[in-house]
Chain A
Amino acid sequence: MTQTKREAEILYSLVEARYGDRCTPEEKEEIRKGLDAILDSAKAMHAIKLENRDEPKQSFKPSGEPE
């Protein structure tokens, strides 16, 4: 089993534990495909090297005004 497949199985177990009782076998198969797509995106993103200085493009500001 490939690393990606193993990860997909682990993530699927989480989804199954949360929502498995709500889904048919066909729907579960579609959820697996959705997880594959998520992991494909992750793989594509991991191909790009990030440095420690590469901060999230999202700002946080404490509330209030500086003195």
Chain B
Amino acid sequence: MKSPLYTPISELSKHIRRGRVSPVELTETFLDRLETIGPRLNAVVTTTRSLALKQARKAEKEIEEGNYRGSLHGVPWGAKDLLSTKGVPTTWGAEPFRNRIIDTDATVVVKLRDAGAVLCAKLAMIEFAGGMGYRQPNACLTGPPRNPWNPDMWTGGSSSGSGASVAAGLLPFAIGSETWGSILSPANNCGVSGLRPTYGRVSRHGAMALCWTLDKLGPLAQTADDCGTILQALAGPDPNDPTTIQKPWHYNPRAPRRRPCLAVLTGVADDANPEVRDNFEKALKTIRGYADIEEVELPDLPYEAITRTILNAEAASAFEDIVESGTVQELTAPEDHWGAYARTALLATEYLRAIRLRGKMVSAVTEAMELYDALVAPSGKKPATPIGEEFRKVAPGTTKDVMGAVGNGCGLPAVSVPDGFTDAGLPTGIQFMGKPYGENTILAIARAYQGLTDWHTRHPPDLKP
């Protein structure tokens, strides 16, 4: 076969199964890239070489003996460094935890190991997944995460290393997490596919908690199809996480039986960067070839205020010991030293008001989306920003992001795929946000888009094999 770099899992797994690609050689290839290119991009916290080779040898032997476990068997992957891993440091991206080992495996780590996947690295992330209110990229113990398309630009966050490692061909796939934007943002900035599952689809057991009722774990990969394959391995009930959806989930890679009907929120791209808006309009034109698109308005509710208040209150509690103890003073980003203080004054009644209004938000969004398979919007309002610049100059929550507030506040799934490039060669993305439990629907819509475009087949020229 041609180089395995940037080869979608759907194709790579066929070669592995037939013995044309050795999991051990494949793992060595990706470990070498993680160790050479990874540090240049500040994408990797820990390379798990000995563990990876042990898992790869086991996979190779099992496959040779005819015990093939499925599409992820022998496929290397990386974990955002908020997923606990036995015997390997789990830093949460934070300098004070540089050498901290949480001696348990997160459920997703166990599930991927059971699927035969090969853990090659713990990947860089924004300290505490951005939970301290960072405003600029230099907020990781590994340094500012550099974008594979242009190292002077940012990857997005907080699953920064997960996005960068897939875009740079350091790994076939990575797991990230999203509380508000942390999968879609790096998928957008790095030009890869990223799936935020429905809240509860994937167990959070063993993952750092930023906000218990908003946190989700999901994959970043070359294609939407790969995201579906990976999600199948991750999804399912877990007694260690009572919020998990009790029904198992199976990926359906078939095309939908009917023409999808999508909706665009009125004015959703009006305040986007002109190139982002232009690429989005072109993408809509392509999508109209296989789906109907209508415009829809959401009822007037304070979506951002509701979701932000929930995030503020739960994060204030989740990190109370870290804030009280003064550990925050040791963080990389200066603004993270004090960024968590204001929300400790948030009143309990305001939090309760937010989670009562959450019910109204869920009802309003359910009704508005009733006739549609998905909402479609730019994945981000702007492409990657410079590595040395603040990407927001104000406190979190004061910028407009209805899609993020609604999607995360209502626990809706969304998939982001690349939809073009700026004149400066930076990728932009489009997101399809579905109804709860509607991952198969949005993945089918995204797959159809990727079947008609080649944005996802383009890779950073300096990093090609």
Partner of B350, one of A37, A45, A56, A57: A45
Q: How far is the CA of A46 from the CA of B357 in the complex (A)?
A: 10
Partner of B398, one of A19, A37, A50, A57: A37
Nearest CB of B to A45, in Å: 5
Closest to A51 in B: B356
Closest to B329 in A: A22
Residue of B305, B344, B353 with highest tally of chain A CB at under 10 A: B305
Instruction: In the complex, identify which listed stretch (B10-18, B177-185, B335-343, B437-445) lies at the interface while the others stay far away.
Output: B335-343
Is the beta-carbon distance between B342 and A35 smaller than 8 angstroms? yes
Partner of B133, one of A34, A41, A45: A34
B160 interface residue per 8 A CB criterion: no
**Chain A residues whose C-beta falls within 8 Å of the C-beta of B335 in the assembled complex:** 30
Contact with A along B392-424 (1 / 0, CB 8 A): 001111100000000000000000000000000
**A42 with B338: in contact, given A11-B345, A34-B133, A37-B398 (CB under 8 Å)?**
no
Contact with B along A42-67 (1 / 0, CB 8 A): 10111110100011111000000000
Is the beta-carbon distance between B360 and A48 smaller than 8 angstroms? yes
A25-39 contacts to B, CB under 8 A, are 27, 30-31, 33-38
Is the beta-carbon distance between A35 and B345 smaller than 8 angstroms? yes
Contact with B along A3-36 (1 / 0, CB 8 A): 0000000011011001100110001001101111
Residue of A41, A47, A55, A58 with highest tally of chain B CB at under 10 A: A41
* Main secondary structure on A side of the interface with B: helix
**Chain B residues whose C-beta falls within 8 Å of the C-beta of A27 in the assembled complex:** 337-338
Residue of B342, B356, B398 with highest tally of chain A CB at under 10 A: B342
Q: How far is the CA of A35 from the CA of B346 in the complex (A)?
A: 8
**A41 with B309: in contact, given A50-B357, A54-B359, A56-B356 (CB under 8 Å)?**
yes
Is the beta-carbon distance between B394 and A37 smaller than 8 angstroms? yes
Partner of A45, one of B312, B344, B357: B357
Q: How far is the CA of A3 from the CA of B343 in the complex (A)?
A: 19
**A54 with B356: in contact, given A41-B305, A45-B350 (CB under 8 Å)?**
yes
B318 interface residue per 8 A CB criterion: no
Is the beta-carbon distance between B355 and A56 smaller than 8 angstroms? yes
Partner of B341, one of A19, A44, A56: A19
**Chain B residues whose C-beta falls within 8 Å of the C-beta of A57 in the assembled complex:** 355-356, 358-359, 362
**Chain B residues whose C-beta falls within 8 Å of the C-beta of A37 in the assembled complex:** 342, 394-398
Is the beta-carbon distance between B395 and A15 smaller than 8 angstroms? no
Q: How far is the CA of A42 from the CA of B309 in the complex (A)?
A: 8
Q: How far is the CA of A47 from the CA of B350 in the complex (A)?
A: 13
Q: How far is the CA of A29 from the CA of B329 in the complex (A)?
A: 18
B308 interface residue per 8 A CB criterion: yes
B302 interface residue per 8 A CB criterion: yes
B213 interface residue per 8 A CB criterion: yes
**Chain B residues whose C-beta falls within 8 Å of the C-beta of A18 in the assembled complex:** 341, 344
B19 interface residue per 8 A CB criterion: no
Is the beta-carbon distance between A34 and B358 smaller than 8 angstroms? no
Is the beta-carbon distance between B213 and A58 smaller than 8 angstroms? yes
Residues of A at the B interface (CB closer than 8 Å) are: 11-12, 14-15, 18-19, 22-23, 27, 30-31, 33-38, 40-42, 44-48, 50, 54-58
Q: List 5 A-B contacts (CB under 8 A).
A: A37-B396, A38-B342, A48-B301, A48-B360, A54-B357
